Copies of this chain bind each other. A is one copy, B any other.
Amino acid sequence: MADILNVATITTDAAHRVIAAAEAKAAEIGVPMCIAVADPGGNLKAFSRMDGAPLLSTQVAQDKAYTAVGFGMPTHGWHDFIKDDAPLAAGAPTGIDRLVIFGGGYPIQVDGANVGAIGVSGGHWSQDQEVAEAGLAALAP
């Protein structure tokens, strides 16, 4: 009987490249951001708060990464998932610790596996998404 399973996990080097690519996009659109990368265990792997980024975003970026790794889906998927489900709409954002249901958190996928997640906060969530996606592109083949 197999006693272990192997969990693919993003390296520190790859996490730094994801953050650098996200920072470049945030600079391009002129909105300073906080950017966090978590591993599949939900633990912080790398983080950057750009000069001028909102202070509250420090935690929100980390929570978005945590949320994205926690269910393996982007944070912006939660609103559609819960909006027509009254108990979840009323209870998920308050009842699930650190859950963020607006955009900016994405699983990081390599070869089809979720190897961690990125969380971005600092602008409107649509801008956060744009920056996060630029970060993910750093790992594209």
Contact = CB atoms under 8 A, between A and B. Distances in A.
A101 to B, nearest CB: 4
A45 to B, nearest CB: 5
A10 interface: yes
A79 B23 CA distance: 29
A84 to B, nearest CB: 12
A95 B93 contact: yes
The main secondary structure of chain A at its interface with chain B is mixed
Contacts of A102: 87-88, 91-92, 95
A3 B11 contact: yes
Contacts of A10: 3-4
A58 interface: yes
